[in-house]
Structure 1
Amino acid sequence: MARSMLIKVTAGSDAPERCNQAFTVAAAAVASGVGVSFWLTGESAWFGLPGRAKEFALPEATPLQDLLDVILAGGRVTVCTQCASRRGIGPDDLIDGIRIAGASTFVEEALGEGVQALVY
C-alpha cells in the first residue's frame, strides 16, 4: 500500500517560517513520488491567487512560488471554503489547478487508508 500525505498550512506571511516549512515538506514529498494533498487555510489561502506566492520572501528559503509549482505539478492543492469566503476569494480567482473545498472533504482525505496528516 502506498502512503500519501495530507498537509494543511494555516499560516501565511504572518508566520513565514511555519508557512515555508509546510510548502517545503509538501514539495519534497511530491518530488519523492509521494501523493500529496496540500490545503491552504487561514492566511495561506492568499497563496492560491496568481502572483501571491511570488511576493513571499524568506531568507535562506526556496522561493514559495517554486515550491508551489512543484506541488501543483504532482499533487493536489485546495483552498479551504470558509477561508476563501472570508477573504472574498472565489473559484475563478484561483490559480489553474487549485480547488476550493470544505471540512467534509478534508476529513474524508484525512481518514483515507495510508494517509499521514500534518498541520502547520
Structure 2
Amino acid sequence: MIRPLVVKVTCGADDPERANQGLTVAATALTAGADVSLWLTGEGAWLGVAGRESFALEHAAAPEGLVGAVLAGGRVTVCTQCAARRGITEADVLPGTRIAGAAAYVEEVLAPDVQALVY
C-alpha cells in the first residue's frame, strides 16, 4: 500500500531547480498510485496562478505540465497568506486549485500514514 504524500513547494522562478524537483516528485508519486496533495507556498504560489509566466529548466518537464498532472489526479493548494501577500485570489488560480491555510496543511500532514516533503 502506498502512503499519501503531501509535497510543499516553497519556491518558483526564484529557485527553478528546487521547485521543479518538488513538482516532479509530486507528479511521479501520482503515477505510482499515491494520493498526492501539492501545496504551493512562498514564491511557489505563482505556480498555481492561471496564465502566469513560469520558468524553463533544461532537461526538466515544464512546471505547468507538472502542476496540471497533479491537478488531474490529486489536489493543489495555494497558501492563504502567500496568496494574500501576492494579491492572488480564488479568481486567479488554476481551475481546481484551492486557497487554504495552515490549519488545512496541518490536518493533511498529521493524517495517518502521510509522508510530507518540503522543497
C-alpha change, 1:97 and 1:5, in structure 2 (3 Å) is same
Q: Does 1:59 align with 2:58?
A: yes
Q: For residue 2 of structure 1, report the CA deviation from its aligned partner.
A: 4.7
> Any residues of structure 2 matched to 1:75-114 within 5 Å, and which?
75-114=74-113
- TM-score normalised by L of structure 1: 0.95
Q: Does 1:22 align with 2:18?
A: no
Q: Percent identity?
A: 58
Q: Does 1:47 align with 2:47?
A: yes
Q: Give the SS at the match of 2:91.
A: helix
- TM-score normalised by L of structure 2: 0.95
Q: For residue 65 of structure 1, report the CA deviation from its aligned partner.
A: 1.3
One-letter identity of the residue aligned with 2:81: Q
Structure 2 contact 2–33 (Cα < 8 Å) conserved: no
**Alignment match, 2:6:** 6
Q: Give the SS at the match of 1:91.
A: coil
Superposed CA deviations along residues 33-78 of structure 1, whole A, max 9, x for unmatched, are 10001000000101111123x6310011011111111101101000
Structure 1 contact 2–114 (Cα < 8 Å) conserved: no
Q: Distance in 2 between matches of 1:17 and 1:6?
A: 19
Q: Distance in 2 between matches of 1:56 and 1:115?
A: 30
Paired positions, count: 119
What CA RMSD, in Å, does the superposition of the two structures yield over aligned residues? 1.1
Unpaired runs of at least 5, structure 1: none
One-letter identity of the residue aligned with 1:85: A
Structure 1 contact 5–35 (Cα < 8 Å) conserved: yes
Q: Does 1:33 align with 2:33?
A: yes
Q: For residue 32 of structure 1, report the CA deviation from its aligned partner.
A: 1.2
Structure 2 contact 47–54 (Cα < 8 Å) conserved: no
Higher helix share: 1
